[in-house]
């Protein structure tokens, strides 16, 4: 049982060493992120493309639903007329 107690502090020390390097990486990339967000043109273009694609797929879904409803109605009429 003492072995598990001895390994637990080692893990904590290892995590403590990793955390500062992670924060250093974030600090270095922060100015780049600010510049990218300040222009925002790429983000807005990407958003517009995504919205156009979403509208296209919405239209396809509505058309498919209407086609299925028409098919069901035709099938019901065929059964009644048979």
Predicted pLDDT at 40: 78
- Structure tokens, 46: 């990407």
For residues 37 and 43, is the Cβ–Cβ distance under 8 A?
yes
Predicted pLDDT at 63: 98
Phi, psi of 9 (to 5 degrees): -65, -35
- Give per-residue pLDDT as tens, 19-76: 555 555 555 555 566 665 556 788 999 999 999 999 999 999 999 999 999 999 999 9
Instruction: List Cα–Cα distances, 41 to 21, 28, 32, 81, in angstroms.
Output: 31, 23, 15, 60
Find where tokens 């517009």 sit: 48
Predicted pLDDT at 32: 62
Tell me the whole-structure pTM to 2 decimals: 0.47
């Amino acid at each position: 049982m003492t072995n598990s107690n001895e390994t637990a502090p080692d893990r904590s020390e290892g995590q403590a060493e990793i955390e500062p390097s992670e924060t250093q990486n974030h600090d270095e990339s922060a100015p780049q992120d600010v510049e990218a967000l300040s222009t925002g043109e790429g983000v807005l273009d990407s958003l517009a493309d995504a919205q156009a694609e979403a509208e296209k797929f919405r239209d396809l879904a509505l058309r498919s639903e209407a086609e299925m409803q028409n098919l069901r109605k035709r099938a019901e009429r065929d059964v009644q007329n048979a």
